Structure formats: C-alpha cells, structure tokens
Amino acid sequence: MTVLTILNAPGTEIPDLLTDLGDRDGIELRIAEAETLSRALPGTDVLLMWDFFSTALRDAYASADRLTWVHAAAAGVDSLLFDELVDSPVTVTNARGTFDRPIAEFVLNYILMHAKSSIGSLADQREQKWNRRSTRDVAGSKAMIVGTGAIGREVARLLKAVDIEVTGAGSHARGGDADFGDVIDSSTLADHVGGYDWVIDIAPLTERTDRLIGSEVFAAMDDTAVFINVGRGDTVDTDALVAALRGKEIAGAGLDVFDEEPLPADHPLWGFDDVIITPHMSGDTRGWRMRLAEQFHRLFERYLAGEEFPHTVDKKLGYVR
C-alpha cells in the first residue's frame, strides 16, 4: 500500500485527476491542511505540497515516519528546505518546466511596458490627454539575467528572439553557455551590472542569494536601467530598492514578488509612477493548476513503477542542478 498525502490550502480545489488516485488499488489518499498535517503524516510515503507556499511540513516533520518523496507544486522550494529534510534521504522534486514560458512572457511584458512608455500612456488615457512622445528601442538593448536555471534560460531565449543581448549571473562564472554566452558569478554582480538596460532577477532563494541585490548593486546600475523581479522577494533588499527608486539611481521596476506578500497597502513601492506591481502571478496562465496536476500525475506513475525522476532538487543547493 502506497500512502499519498496531499497538503491543501483552505478553499483551494484539488483536481479530480489527483483525488481519483485514491480510487486505485494499492493507493491510500489522505487530504490534509496545515493544522491536520501532523496527523496525516504517519505512514505517508509521498507528500504533494499542493499548498506550495506552506511551511507546515517543518512543524509536522517529526510525524513523518515513512516519507520517501515530497513534491512541491511550485518552482521555488525554499520553504521546504529546513535542516531535518535537507539531511534526510527524502527526495524532493518541484514543478520544473511548468512556469518557464509564462514567466518569460511576463518579463518581456514588463520590458515592453517600460520601453514603450505604456505606464505613462495609460495614465494619459485616464486623463484624456494626447501626449505624443518618443519611446525606447528594445532591439539592441542589454539584459542581465540573475538566475540561470530553467526559467532564466527561457527568459534568455525569448529576449534574444527580440534582439535583446543577454548575459547571465549564476552560482559560478563560466563561458560558452548555450543560452547566455558568458555567465558571471552572481556574488560579483555589482561589478558587472553597469551598462545593462534590464536587470532581471529570477534567482532561487538560498543562503547565497538572500538579499543578493541590495544598495551596492542598485548604485552600480545605470540610472536608465529597469529592475525586474519574478523570482523571490527575499533575494532583494527592499529598503535599498525603495531608496534607489527615490534617488533616481534606477529608472523603474517591474515587481511580481516581494519579501512580504500581500504587499501592505501603505508600502512605499505603491507610490512610484515608474514601478509596475503585480501580485505574484507571472506564472499563472489559464490552466496552470491543471498543468501542475498533470505533472505530478506523471511523476507519481514513475514513482509507482520504480523509475527515476527526470529531475530532482539538490537539497543542499536549493534548486535543480
């Protein structure tokens, strides 16, 4: 008997594709929420984190006596990587591949909105103002992409398709990368961000990337550059970002993630005319939850067949290699 537990968020629907697994011979399905997870974990072999932002597993982990695999229905797994799980033999997988293209398109949207002065045009439209002006070329501009995983690579490919020159920043410097050409060590980001029009953060949250982008990096950016974050809010020093925007050290931002979510109504980031704020939705195109369910279903079939997964998270690094 394989016991599958799905951790769900209150009020969130679980697709039939997943709940129907409980009707199969040899599978026991348990549905839990954060407050009941510790009671569901004893005997559980597989845990699906359908409530992908939850930190409940950390508190309930002592009850996991048979757990072999945890799947996060999200790209980021930072909320899962507490010491006990990292040091255990439990395999962790994530939603690698599911969000690559939607997030890349979102990044391109941010770039186009800034380059083509769409923020100002929408403001003028609301005031019925005819304000004809020149805008920026996208072709020939330069982007620094911080984070060279699957999503960062899809961002690079899409931006190159509109003739944006891309460079990557990752965990170590290297040359000859198929998508980025040259990759710099992200720890030296401040030494390299000058001269770029777009600095795009898609880095995973790890000890190494926590507050990676702060006052030193913003000061080194061109004052015509735009900062974009579709990765993790905690990779950015938000106070430093606010100061950079106030001091006109950078030209604007496109922000989908924040170190506090929802972003408080009185937060100063709401007050900037040159900042686009979206509510952590860059990967959420229509049908995204079903795509996540289909991915887990495929992985679960491999698990039952004793086959290796196509990808696993390196728990020490905090991301898929």
With residue 228 as reference, give the H or E element that holds it: strand 226-229
Which tens digit of pLDDT belongs to each residue from 31-53? 999 999 999 999 999 999 999 98
Please compute, for residue 195, the number of CA atoms within 13 A of its CA located in the half-sphere on the CB side: 6
Q: Pick from 61, 19, 207, 27: which is nearest to 70 by CA?
A: 61
Per-residue CA distances from 89 to 7, 62, 69 (Å):
20, 15, 9
Which tens digit of pLDDT belongs to each residue from 57-68? 999 999 999 999
CA distance 211 to 241: 11
What is the pLDDT averaged over residues 119-146?
97
Q: Pick from 193, 147, 198: which is nearest to 171 by CA?
A: 147
Is residue 275 very low, low, confident or very high in pLDDT (cuts 50, 70, 90)? very high
List, as one string, the DSSP characters of 42-98: TT-SEEEESSTT--HHHHHGGG-SS--EEEESSS--GGG--HHHHTSS-EEE--TTT
CA distance 219 to 136: 22
Indicate the DSSP class of residue 229.
E
Q: Pick from 56, 42, 48: which is nearest to 74 by CA?
A: 48
CA distance 242 to 214: 10
The phi and psi torsions of 3 (rounded to 5 degrees) equal: -100, 120
**CB of 32 within 8 A of CB of 8?**
yes
Which tens digit of pLDDT belongs to each residue from 189-225? 999 999 999 999 999 999 999 999 999 999 999 999 9
Note the pLDDT of residue 84: 97
CA distance 321 to 196: 27
**CB of 212 within 8 A of CB of 186?**
yes
CA distance 110 to 108: 5
Is residue 239 very low, low, confident or very high in pLDDT (cuts 50, 70, 90)? very high
Q: Assign 214 to helix, strand or coil.
A: coil
The pTM of this model reads 0.93
Average pLDDT of the chain to the nearest whole number: 97
What is the pLDDT averaged over residues 257-273?
97
**CB of 268 within 8 A of CB of 243?**
no
- By CB neighbour count within 10 A (0-12 exposed, 13-18 middle, 19+ buried), where does 120 fall? middle
CB atoms within 10 A of CB 220: 18
What is the pLDDT averaged over residues 68-75?
96
Which residue type sits at 79? S
